[in-house]
C-alpha cells in the first residue's frame, strides 16, 4: 500500500485528494490517511492539507517499496548486529535468489579475517543471497562477479577511478572504498547458497578511524543516493549472473583490478607472505613469485602494498 501511494504521488506531483487515492487503491480515506501518517513518520515529506496530499521529498532510506519488482526480496533493518547474520538465517529458511539484507547501521559489522568493519550511518551495508546452482569448484568465482559488477558500476556510472584489489576490496585513489566478505553452504558437491556481504563508504566519513579509507561523497564532493546505487548494483549483478561464462570471470575481473606485477604482502590466518603478484588463476587464487624465484598460490588472505620505505628497509626494490 505504501508503494502504491508513493507511486501515485510521484506520478501526479500536484496535490492528490484523499478521495482520488482511496478510489485508486480500493480502500477507505481513513486507511489512506493512516498510511500517509506512517510514511511521514518514516521521513517522507508529504504535505497534507484540506485538498489532499503532495509528495515534496523522500528520504534516502532503502525501504523495500523503493525497489519496484524486488520488494519481497529486500529486507531493510535500521539497526542490526550484522547483515551477514540476518542473511544467514534467511538463506537457511529458503530465501530466494538475490534476497538482500540492508542495514542503516551495523553494531558488529565485520570484514575479512574477523576484523571489525565500521558501519556508521550513511554507508551501504548489505548482504546478497546468491543461489547460483553451480558445483563447489566454481563457487569462488561468484565473489569476482560481484566485485567486477560493483567496480564497473563505480567507474561507469559515477566516474570514479575505482580498482578491485585481490581478493575482495575496491580502492579509489589508492584508498579503500569497499570491503567484501562471503560465506557459503553446500549440499553434496553443489553450492546451496553464497552470501556476499558488502560495506561501501558512500555518505559516511570513515577517515577519523581509518585514514586509509575514503567515501564516495568525499571523492565526488556531493551526497550520493544509496537507493539508486543499490538498485543499479542489483540490476547489473542479476544480469551478469544470468549470462555469466564462469571460465572467463577472473579474466574479466582483471580488467578492473589493480595492475599485477607489484610487490605485495599477504596476511593469511597462519602466516605473512611477501613477493611479486604474478597472476590470479581462474579459481581466484593469487600466485606470488617469492624472492627465491619459486611461486606460491594463496587462496585466502588480505593483500597489502608495502610502502617504498618498507622495501628499502628490507633491501628490496619497490615494483
Which has the higher per-residue pLDDT, 305 or 177?
177
Same-domain status, 165 and 88: yes
Same-domain status, 110 and 205: yes
Same-domain status, 128 and 238: yes
| Residue 137: inside a domain | yes
Handedness of CA 255, 257, 263, 266 (dihedral sign): negative
For residue range 243-281, what is the model confidence (pLDDT) as tens digits? 999 999 999 999 999 989 999 999 888 889 999 999 999
For residue 268, what pLDDT is reported? 85
Same-domain status, 72 and 44: no
Same-domain status, 153 and 181: yes
User: What is the extent of the structural domain holding 280?
Assistant: 263-314
| Residue 109: inside a domain | yes
Q: What end-to-end distance do the CA atoms of the chain give, in Å?
A: 59
Same-domain status, 147 and 203: yes
Dist CA 237 CA 230 (whole Å) = 10
Widest CA span of the chain, in angstroms?
81
The DSSP letter of residue 253 is H
Same-domain status, 32 and 79: no
Give me the mean pLDDT over the 210-235 stretch. 96
Final residue in a domain of this structure, among 233, 254, 275: 254
Provide the domain count of the chain: 3
For residue 270, what pLDDT is reported? 86
pLDDT confidence band for 42 (50 / 70 / 90): very high
In this structure, what CATH number is given to the domain that contains residue 47?
A: 1.10.10.10
Strand order in the sheet with 74-80: 74-80, 100-106, 124-130, 190-200, 175-187, 169-172, 162-165
pTM: predicted TM-score of the whole model, two decimal places: 0.89
Same-domain status, 15 and 32: yes
| Residue 319: inside a domain | no
CB atoms under 10 Å from CB of 261, counted, come to: 11
Q: Which residues of 73-106 are buried (b: 16+ CB within 10 A; e: fewer)?
A: bbbbbeebebbbbbbbebbeeebeebbbbbbbbb
For residue 312, what pLDDT is reported? 39
| Residue 196: inside a domain | yes
Same-domain status, 50 and 85: no
Q: Which residues contact 271 (CB under 8 A, 6 or more apart)?
A: none
Same-domain status, 238 and 191: yes
pLDDT confidence band for 70 (50 / 70 / 90): very high
The residue count of the chain comes to 319
Same-domain status, 309 and 271: yes
Annotated binding site: 106, 110-112, 176
Q: Is 204 helix (H, G, I), strand (E, B) or coil?
A: coil
Per-residue pLDDT at 311 exceeds 70? no
Backbone angles phi, psi at 28, to 5 degrees: -85, 160
Annotated binding site for biotin: 106, 110-112, 176
In this structure, what CATH number is given to the domain that contains residue 283?
A: 2.30.30.100
Same-domain status, 77 and 18: no
Closest by CA to 185, choosing from 175, 177, 176, 195, is 195
| Residue 93: inside a domain | yes
For residue 313, what pLDDT is reported? 38
Amino acid at each position: 500500500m505504501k508503494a502504491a501511494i508513493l507511486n501515485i504521488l510521484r506520478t501526479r506531483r500536484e496535490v492528490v485528494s484523499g478521495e482520488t487515492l482511496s478510489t485508486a487503491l480500493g480502500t477507505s480515506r481513513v486507511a489512506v490517511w493512516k498510511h500517509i501518517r506512517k510514511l511521514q513518520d518514516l521521513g517522507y515529506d508529504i504535505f497534507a492539507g484540506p485538498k489532499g496530499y503532495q509528495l515534496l521529498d523522500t528520504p534516502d532510506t532503502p525501504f523495500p517499496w523503493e525497489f519496484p519488482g524486488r520488494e519481497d526480496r529486500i529486507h531493510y533493518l535500521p539497526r542490526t548486529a550484522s547483515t551477514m547474520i540476518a542473511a544467514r538465517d534467511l538463506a537457511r529458511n529458503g530465501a530466494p535468489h538475490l534476497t538482500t539484507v540492508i542495514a542503516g547501521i551495523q553494531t558488529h559489522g565485520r570484514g575479512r579475517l574477523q576484523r571489525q568493519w565500521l558501519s556508521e550511518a550513511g554507508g551501504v551495508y548489505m548482504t546478497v543471497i546468491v543461489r547460483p546452482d553451480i558445483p563447489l569448484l566454481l563457487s569462488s568465482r561468484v565473489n569476482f562477479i560481484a566485485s567486477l559488477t560493483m567496480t564497473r558500476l563505480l567507474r561507469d556510472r559515477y566516474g570514479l577511478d575505482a580498482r578491485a584489489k585481490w581478493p575482495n576490496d575496491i580502492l579509489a585513489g589508492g584508498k579503500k572504498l569497499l570491503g567484501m566478505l562471503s560465506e557459503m553452504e553446500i549440499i553434496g558437491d553443489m553450492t546451496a547458497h553464497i552470501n556476499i556481504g558488502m560495506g561501501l563508504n558512500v555518505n559516511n566519513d570513515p577517515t577519523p578511524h581509518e585514514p586509509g579509507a575514503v567515501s564516495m561523497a568525499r571523492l565526488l564532493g556531493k551526497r550520493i543516493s544509496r537507493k539508486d546505487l543499490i538498485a543499479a548494483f542489483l540490476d547489473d549483478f542479476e544480469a551478469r549472473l544470468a549470462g555469466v561464462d564462469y571460465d572467463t570471470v577472473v579474466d574479466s575481473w582483471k580488467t578492473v583490478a589493480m595492475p599485477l606485477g607489484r610487490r605485495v604482502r599477504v596476511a593469511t590466518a597462519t602466516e605473512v607472505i611477501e613477493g611479486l603478484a604474478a597472476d590470479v588463476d581462474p579459481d581466484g587464487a593469487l600466485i606470488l613469485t617469492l624472492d627465491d624465484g619459486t611461486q606460491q598460490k594463496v587462496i585466502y588472505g588480505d593483500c597489502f602494498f608495502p610502502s617504498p620505505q618498507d622495501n628499502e628497509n628490507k633491501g628490496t626494490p619497490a615494483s
